[in-house]
């Protein structure tokens, strides 16, 4: 029997499915079912006729993310060391907005009444100062049971140095049958606030992920292997995700970055900015030869130290709603209409003007070509929704639609600046890789505003995140805090790494990864003595070389270094990677014998010197475009999973991998001479 592999990305509006069978890819977009995301997945796989023969499913879920953002996670309790129950509220004592006198900090996920203490104490090296008091432990667990908690987070002081007491507390808590998340299992790393926040996040979303994946597993064939995408760009088995749910908080966006980096690397572009515009949000990331990772993430205002791809997200997508603030200014998002009722153009009862409606009004989305013609858009409904915005602005519906696009593009531009300009990257020397259902609609205008000379639209941009899941490696992260002077660290780092290597290799072998497909990557977190935060440096066996690399990295990142200053090694990290055996190549269709006559010509509205600029533009079906031939904009390019807008003055061609390469000649000259 031929192996059938499926990648699934569940979004706020659509669930994207990529099927690989006999070396051929098939794609499908179905409306999401927010009440039970598994329903849309099973229905979609059945539509593709692949459910019974399904071998592996790799799934990126928004269940954990939505639970945090909407405050709908499990009722959670926290057990911690006596005297430290308020660490979640004390935090880093930073103000969310420095000059806002009325600012309110986000309430902790665990209120004070459900934060209980046990009597015990270790020192910073893990030596026992006070043994665990059994009576206080039984009292703490009883209090949480009486409070009706569904999940318990456990974070004891200095348990990363010695997990003995935390293991005892965990064993007692699990005897209750509740969901238990312990910091020595999830994040054995120093920094009390961030460690506690991370383990609380894991407990908060854990029962939801556990129940959701159990339902999904029950609906899949018994022989199907279910893998879950992590925030770090790799996948893990469903069973692991059910225990360590916080690792899935940014799984969908992370898969998109993996897919974007893959297709760009195939096309020989190493420096890219990924732009993923979906129905509810825009996710951007910078890849400068390698995907940028962070261990200082934040989801819904709550810190997490679990490794994740460095992605910046704003609430701007195809379903984002246009509205007016108290000052009468037009705003767009972050509120979205979601899958139901969806934009007004979907004809499902939506009445609020969205970005999708704006594109329909401007002629950029063709009603009969949406989702390959399987779903028709209602232009009249879109115009009616947009008329409310137009009346408030006292202008035409076309000008109102352009106004909404300017506002939402400004939000997206700001997001790209955060991950590029604000971190020392010059967008003029990068390629913008645009994907998601709405990415190709906005890409050229964003590139023009940011002086990015080139845009790459992958072969299947609307479902690239689902493709990224199929090609992602199996990935496990391990960390151990050592806190030792750099000149004394060689032996301890090597010993610690050997322990982590054995742990990582054994875990991957257990997941069925062949020994020859395992790669182990070592890192050390380093800082100058007296500094508060670290830089992560690759470690190749010699501490002196790592120290030199730290000085050079510090110089690049902050503009200075001091090679005479002593260095501290804080953490030792290991990435255990099971290399993916999938190397997909999407070659462009040989269209030498195919007529490239446009399917039609269509009136499309662009922003110009005049308030509006209407042009008759050719509409091409992507499959007929011949590899290598240069086309001039303006144009509209349609395909099943998205629509690409090519503004005036832009040029485009199809490369040998099926990507659309769009360039703005004037900006190319500027970038070369910058």
pLDDT tens for 74-123 read 999 999 999 999 999 988 877 777 788 888 888 899 999 999 999 999 99
Nearest to 5 by CA among 41, 53, 43, 47: 53
Residue 299 and residue 304: Cα distance in Å, rounded?
7
Check if the beta carbon of residue 370 is closer than 8 Å to that of residue 357: no
Q: Do the domain assignments include residue 608?
A: no
Show which of 520, 543, 578 is a domain's final residue.
578
Q: Which two tokens stand for residue 100?
A: 């806002």
Q: What is the dihedral of CA 295, 298, 303, 309, to 10 degrees?
A: -20
515/553 same-domain check: yes
What confidence score (pLDDT) does residue 109 get? 94
What confidence score (pLDDT) does residue 151 get? 96
Q: Do the domain assignments include residue 487?
A: yes
238/149 same-domain check: no
Q: Which two tokens stand for residue 164?
A: 């003995």
Beta bridge partners of 521: 575
Q: What is the mean pLDDT of residues 594-603?
A: 69
Residue 288 and residue 522: Cα distance in Å, rounded?
20
Residue 246 and residue 165: Cα distance in Å, rounded?
23
What confidence score (pLDDT) does residue 12 get? 67
47/28 same-domain check: yes
Total domain count for the chain? 3
Nearest to 569 by CA among 477, 497, 481, 501: 481
Residue 136 and residue 168: Cα distance in Å, rounded?
12
pLDDT in tens, 471-528: 889 999 999 999 999 999 999 999 999 999 999 999 999 988 889 999 999 999 999 9
Q: What is the mean pLDDT of residues 353-360?
A: 93
What confidence score (pLDDT) does residue 596 get? 60
Q: What is the mean pLDDT of residues 587-599?
A: 53
What confidence score (pLDDT) does residue 63 get? 81
Nearest to 463 by CA among 67, 64, 2, 48: 48
Nearest to 445 by CA among 359, 380, 503: 359
Using CA atoms, how far residue 359 sits from 44, 50, 343, in Å, is 27, 34, 11
Beta bridge partners of 54: 4
Q: Could you count the other beta carbons within 10 Å of the beta carbon of residue 590?
A: 9
Q: What is the mean pLDDT of residues 418-440?
A: 89
Q: What is the mean pLDDT of residues 41-65?
A: 89
How far does CA 484 lie from the centroid of its chain? 34
26/87 same-domain check: no
Q: Which two tokens stand for residue 20?
A: 């690989």
Residue labelled with tokens 């493709």: 467
What confidence score (pLDDT) does residue 588 get? 47
Q: What is the mean pLDDT of residues 160-188?
A: 95
What confidence score (pLDDT) does residue 337 get? 83
Q: Do the domain assignments include residue 635?
A: no
Output DSSP code: residue 82. T
Residue 135: CATH number of its domain: 3.40.50
User: What share of the chain in percent tops pLDDT 70?
Assistant: 95
What confidence score (pLDDT) does residue 511 get? 85
216/197 same-domain check: no
Using CA atoms, how far residue 559 sits from 227, 295, 524, 556, 562, in Å, is 42, 22, 21, 6, 11
16/117 same-domain check: no
Q: Do the domain assignments include residue 336?
A: no
Q: Could you count the other beta carbons within 10 Å of the beta carbon of residue 147?
A: 14
177/221 same-domain check: no
Give the count of alpha carbons within 13 A of 415, CB side only.
25
pLDDT in tens, 538-591: 999 999 999 999 999 999 888 889 999 999 999 999 999 998 866 554 444 454
161/117 same-domain check: yes
Output DSSP code: residue 628. T
9-13, 221-225, 379-383: the lowest-pLDDT one? 9-13
Strands 312-314 and 320-324: unpaired
Show which of 530, 547, 578 is a domain's final residue.
578
> Residue 10 sits in which domain range?
4-67+211-248
Residue 551 and residue 527: Cα distance in Å, rounded?
9
What confidence score (pLDDT) does residue 597 get? 66
Show which of 541, 560, 578 is a domain's final residue.
578
147/192 same-domain check: yes
Residue 291 and residue 285: Cα distance in Å, rounded?
8
How far does CA 354 lie from the centroid of its chain? 23
121/152 same-domain check: yes
pLDDT in tens, 605-632: 887 656 667 888 899 988 888 888 888 8
Q: What is the mean pLDDT of residues 148-170?
A: 96
Check if the beta carbon of residue 253 is closer than 8 Å to that of residue 259: no
pTM, full prediction:
0.86
190-204, 275-289, 399-413: the lowest-pLDDT one? 275-289
pLDDT at residue 674 above 60?
Answer: no
Q: Do the domain assignments include residue 360?
A: no
Q: Residue 198: enclosing H or E segment and its boundaries?
A: helix 192-219
Residue 528 and residue 190: Cα distance in Å, rounded?
17
CA angle 662/16/467 to nearest 5° reads 60
Q: Do the domain assignments include residue 178?
A: yes
How far does CA 118 lie from the centroid of its chain? 37
What confidence score (pLDDT) does residue 591 get? 47
Q: What is the mean pLDDT of residues 427-456?
A: 93
Q: Could you count the other beta carbons within 10 Å of the beta carbon of residue 606?
A: 20
pLDDT at residue 139 above 70?
Answer: yes
Residues 6+ apart with CB under 8 A from 417: 427, 450
User: φ, ψ for residue 536 (rounded to 5)?
Assistant: -90, 125
Residue 669 and residue 662: Cα distance in Å, rounded?
14
Q: Do the domain assignments include residue 37?
A: yes
Q: What is the mean pLDDT of residues 310-319?
A: 86
Indicate the average pLDDT of the chain.
89
83/194 same-domain check: yes
**What confidence tier does 673 reach under pLDDT thresholds 50, 70, 90?**
very low
Q: Do the domain assignments include residue 295?
A: no
502/544 same-domain check: yes
What confidence score (pLDDT) does residue 672 get? 43
Three-state DSSP class for residue 609: coil
């Amino acid at each position: 029997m031929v192996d059938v592999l499926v990648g699934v990305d569940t979004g706020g509006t659509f669930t994207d499915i990529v099927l690989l069978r006999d070396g051929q890819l098939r794609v499908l977009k179905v409306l999401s079912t927010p009440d039970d995301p598994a329903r849309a997945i099973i229905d979609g796989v059945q539509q593709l006729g692949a459910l019974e023969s399904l071998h592996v499913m790799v799934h990126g879920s928004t269940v954990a993310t939505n639970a945090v953002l909407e405050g709908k996670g499990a009722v959670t309790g926290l057990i911690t060391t006596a005297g430290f129950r308020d660490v979640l509220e004390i935090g880093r004592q930073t103000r969310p907005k420095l000059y806002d006198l009325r600012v309110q900090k986000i309430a902790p996920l665990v209120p004070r009444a459900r934060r209980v203490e046990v009597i015990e104490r270790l020192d910073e090296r893990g030596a026992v100062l006070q043994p665990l008091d059994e009576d206080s432990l039984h009292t703490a667990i009883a209090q949480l049971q009486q409070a009706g908690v569904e999940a318990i987070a456990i974070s004891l002081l200095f348990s990363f140095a010695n997990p003995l007491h935390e293991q005892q507390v965990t064993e007692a808590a699990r005897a209750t049958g509740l969901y238990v998340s312990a910091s020595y299992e999830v994040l054995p790393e120093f920094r009390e606030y961030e460690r506690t926040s991370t383990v609380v996040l894991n407990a908060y979303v854990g029962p939801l992920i556990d129940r959701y994946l159990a339902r999904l597993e029950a609906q899949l064939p018994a022989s199907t292997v279910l893998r879950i995408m992590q925030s770090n760009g790799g996948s893990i088995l469903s069973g692991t995700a059910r225990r360590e749910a916080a690792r899935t908080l940014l799984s969908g966006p992370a898969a998109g970055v993996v897919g974007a980096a893959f297709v760009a690397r195939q096309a020989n572009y190493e420096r890219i900015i990924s732009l993923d515009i979906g129905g509810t949000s825009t996710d951007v990331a910078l890849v400068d030869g390698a995907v940028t990772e962070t261990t200082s993430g934040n989801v819904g205002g709550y810190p997490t130290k679990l490794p994740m791809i460095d992605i910046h997200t704003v609430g701007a997508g195809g379903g984002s709603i246009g509205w007016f603030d108290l000052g009468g200014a037009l705003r767009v998002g972050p509120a979205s209409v979601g899958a139901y009722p969806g934009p007004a153009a979907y004809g499902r009862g939506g009445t609020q003007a969205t970005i999708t409606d704006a594109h329909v009004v401007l002629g950029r989305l063709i009603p009969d070509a949406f989702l390959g013609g399987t779903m028709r858009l209602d232009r009249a409904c879109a115009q009616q929704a947009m008329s409310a915005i137009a009346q408030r602005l006292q202008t035409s519906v076309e000008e109102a639609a352009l106004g909404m696009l300017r506002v939402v593009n400004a939000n997206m531009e700001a997001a790209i600046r955060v991950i590029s300009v604000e971190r020392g990257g010059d967008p003029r020397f990068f390629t913008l890789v645009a994907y998601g259902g709405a990415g190709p609609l906005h890409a050229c205008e964003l590139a023009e505003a940011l002086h990015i000379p080139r845009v790459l639209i992958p072969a299947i941009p609307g479902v690239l995140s689902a493709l990224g899941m199929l090609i992602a490696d199996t990935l496990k992260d391990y960390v151990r805090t050592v806190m030792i002077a750099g000149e004394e660290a060689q032996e301890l780092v090597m010993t610690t790494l050997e322990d982590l290597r054995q742990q990582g290799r054994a875990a991957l072998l257990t997941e069925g990864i062949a020994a020859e497909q395992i790669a182990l990557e070592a890192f050390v977190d380093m800082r100058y003595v007296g500094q508060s935060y670290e830089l992560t440096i690759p470690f190749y066996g010699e501490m002196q070389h790592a120290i030199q690399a730290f000085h050079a990295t510090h110089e690049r990142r902050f503009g200075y270094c001091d090679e005479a200053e002593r260095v501290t090694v804080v953490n030792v990290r290991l990435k255990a990677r099971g290399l993916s055996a999938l190397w997909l190549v999407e070659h462009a269709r040989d269209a030498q014998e195919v007529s490239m006559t446009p399917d039609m010509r269509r009136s499309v509205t662009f922003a110009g010197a005049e308030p509006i600029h209407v042009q008759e533009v050719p509409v091409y079906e992507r499959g007929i475009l011949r590899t290598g031939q240069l086309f001039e904009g303006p144009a509209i390019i349609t395909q099943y999973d998205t629509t690409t807008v090519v503004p005036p003055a832009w040029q485009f061609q199809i490369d040998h991998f099926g990507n659309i390469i769009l360039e703005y000649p004037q900006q190319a000259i500027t970038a070369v001479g910058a």
